[in-house]
């Protein structure tokens, strides 16, 4: 091995120039296998940084041909990670097992965590839980809380929410753990599965209020369920909800009218000093006409009408009244119709927002994201405002795409999740859950997770 070229490649690697590092590490390797293990090892690491996972598999294989190399355990573990990235989960498990079998391997917790991820993808959740447990109890593991949270997820997948609660609580016991918000959100979901809704609400509120955790679609649904279940319902007795009754009025009316004494109609009225004398009959007639009162003949006519004639007159009066109402304030009716239309439209828009509708839709956003990723086009516009390195880290979970399909969309008013099946260029179809958050009237991607529950065993 050419030591000068190896040192040159090491400088490029530490500077983040992984393309140059990969070339120079490979150039530093001499003929044959012996003595070239470190050159191929570091070349493989450089290729992994460049996301050239298939090339890394080949180069790590060259490193393992050097029987004298003293870091074979690390090479096997990295080989497992490369296989995991291209969807070769069975080969990844074998590589991790080989790493754990190497006596010189100093960080077995890494192989345990990687192997657990591959086991989850294969649907072997119980074995994955055992691997995460080994990683969590490894004294060399600087972040056991991560393994404990993943262990809790496995317990949830196995239908053991009580064990999941214990795992999440253990993870929260590490004050330096930076993922406490996510652990609390997971803890809330476990409590909901147990029916402990008050505990679930406390966990969710700590996650969002103390740690600023954005709830995933599944966590939001669990929180809504906890809130609904924790709110006591009104007691119903014989079809009536119990509650305070309005106070009964102290003064009641008898027969619908206030009682009181009426002045006698037959008694003589006192003469009021200064009162005007009675008006003449002509003045009375004019006053009656002005008030709309009929004369004596009209009165006589009224009392002489038969019942049928009275009905006919009444019908005519009602018909005239209806015609008068119909010719009433047309503008007012039009205004009321317009107001009602606006209210109905606002209600429809509000209902659409509440049920997760938006534009672009969740499906449109995810389709654009994965299509752009497949074609090597910019995809930053589909994400919430996060650094490019975070986007790259999330997208790295998806291997090079041959084809994909959107399987299901689960929506709430503020967040959604989209289940996607991705067929990589090499390997079996993979399942993912892409989380989205409401932004304006549309949707933006917030994260990508492997949907191991949809993977076959």
Cβ–Cβ under 8 Å, residues 452 and 121: yes
Domain topology for 152-231: 1.25.40
Q: Which of 103, 106, 105, 158 is nearest to 132 (CA)?
A: 158
Query: How big is the CA angle at 239 (ends 233 and 245), to the nearest 5 degrees?
Result: 75
Residue with tokens 């930053």: 380
Helix (H) or strand (E) holding 240: strand 240-241
DSSP string, 336-367: HHHHHHHHHHHHHHHHHHHTT--SS-HHHHHH
Q: Which fold has domain 362-454?
A: Nuclear Transport Factor 2; Chain: A, (3.10.450)
pLDDT, tens digit, for every residue of 282-295?
A: 544 444 444 343 44
3-state SS, residue 189: helix
Asked if residue 265 has pLDDT above 90, the reply is: no
Question: For position 294, what pLDDT does the model report?
Answer: 41
Task: Tell whether the model's pLDDT for residue 120 goes beyond 70.
Answer: yes
When pLDDT is cut at 50, 70 and 90, the band that residue 229 belongs to is confident
How many angstroms separate the CA atoms of 133 and 68, rounded? 32
- Asked, as a colleague might, if the bond just before 107 is cis with ω within 30 of 0, I would say no
Give residue 273's pLDDT band: very low, low, confident or very high (50, 70, 90): very low
- Tell me: pLDDT of 254 over 50: no
Domain boundaries in the chain?
Answer: 152-231, 362-454
DSSP class of residue 34? T
| Structure confidence by residue, pLDDT tens digits, 80-112 | 999 999 999 999 999 999 999 998 888 999 999
Does 130 score more than 90 pLDDT?
A: yes
- Given a cut of 60, is residue 456 above it in pLDDT? no
> For residue 118, is pLDDT > 90?
yes
Coil vs helix vs strand at 184: helix
Conformation bin of residue 212: beta by default, left when phi > 0, alpha when psi is -120 to 50:
left
Confidence (pTM): 0.52
Residue 358 to residue 364: CA distance in whole angstroms:
10
Residues 190, 156 contacting (CB under 8 angstroms): yes
For residue range 374-413, list pLDDT tens digits in order.
888 898 989 888 788 888 888 888 888 899 999 988 878 7
pLDDT of residue 76: 93
Q: For residue 323, give the H/E element and its range.
A: helix 307-326
What confidence tier does 117 reach under pLDDT thresholds 50, 70, 90? very high
């Amino acid at each position: 091995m050419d030591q000068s070229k190896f040192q040159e490649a090491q400088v490029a690697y530490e500077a983040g120039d992984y393309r140059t590092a990969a070339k120079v590490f490979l150039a530093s390797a001499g003929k044959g296998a012996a003595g070239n293990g470190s050159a191929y090892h570091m070349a493989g690491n450089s290729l992994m940084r460049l996301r050239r996972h298939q090339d890394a598999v080949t180069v790590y294989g060259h490193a393992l041909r050097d029987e004298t190399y003293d870091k074979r355990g690390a090479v096997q573990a990295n080989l497992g990670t490369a296989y995991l990235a291209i969807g070769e989960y069975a080969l990844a498990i074998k590589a991790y097992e080989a790493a754990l079998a190497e006596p010189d391997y100093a960080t077995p917790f890494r192989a345990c965590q990687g192997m657990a991820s591959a086991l989850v993808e294969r649907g072997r959740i119980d074995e994955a839980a055992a691997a995460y447990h080994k990683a969590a109890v490894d004294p060399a593991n600087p972040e056991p809380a991560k393994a404990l949270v993943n262990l809790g997820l496995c317990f949830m997948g196995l239908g053991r929410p009580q064990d999941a609660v214990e795992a999440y609580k253990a993870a929260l016991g590490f004050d330096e753990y930076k993922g406490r918000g996510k652990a609390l959100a997971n803890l809330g979901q476990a409590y909901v599965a147990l029916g402990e809704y008050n505990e679930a609400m406390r966990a969710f509120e700590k996650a969002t209020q103390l740690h600023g955790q954005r709830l995933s679609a599944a966590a939001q649904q669990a929180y809504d369920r906890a809130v609904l279940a924790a709110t006591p319902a009104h007691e119903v007795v014989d079809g009536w909800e119990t509650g305070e009754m309005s106070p009964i009025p102290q003064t009641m009316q008898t027969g619908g009218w206030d009682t009181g004494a009426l002045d006698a109609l037959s008694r003589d009225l006192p003469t009021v000093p200064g009162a005007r004398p009675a008006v003449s009959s002509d003045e009375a007639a004019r006053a009656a006409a002005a008030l709309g009162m009929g004369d004596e003949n009209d009165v006589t006519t009224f009392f002489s009408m038969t019942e049928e004639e009275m009905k006919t007159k009444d019908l005519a009066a009602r018909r005239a009244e209806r015609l008068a109402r119909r010719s009433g304030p047309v503008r007012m009716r039009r205004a009321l119709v317009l107001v009602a239309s606006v209210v109905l439209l606002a209600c429809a828009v509000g209902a659409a927002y509440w049920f997760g509708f938006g534009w672009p839709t969740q499906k449109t956003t995810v389709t654009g994201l994965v299509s752009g990723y497949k074609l090597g086009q910019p995809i930053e516009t589909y994400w919430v405002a996060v650094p490019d390195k975070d986007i790259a880290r999330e997208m790295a979970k998806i291997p090079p795409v041959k084809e994909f399909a959107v399987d299901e969309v689960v929506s709430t008013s503020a967040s959604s999740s989209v289940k996607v099946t991705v067929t990589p260029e090499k390997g079996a179809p993979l399942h993912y859950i892409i989380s989205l958050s409401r932004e304006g009237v549309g949707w933006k991607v917030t994260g990508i997770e492997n949907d191991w529950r949809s993977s076959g065993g």
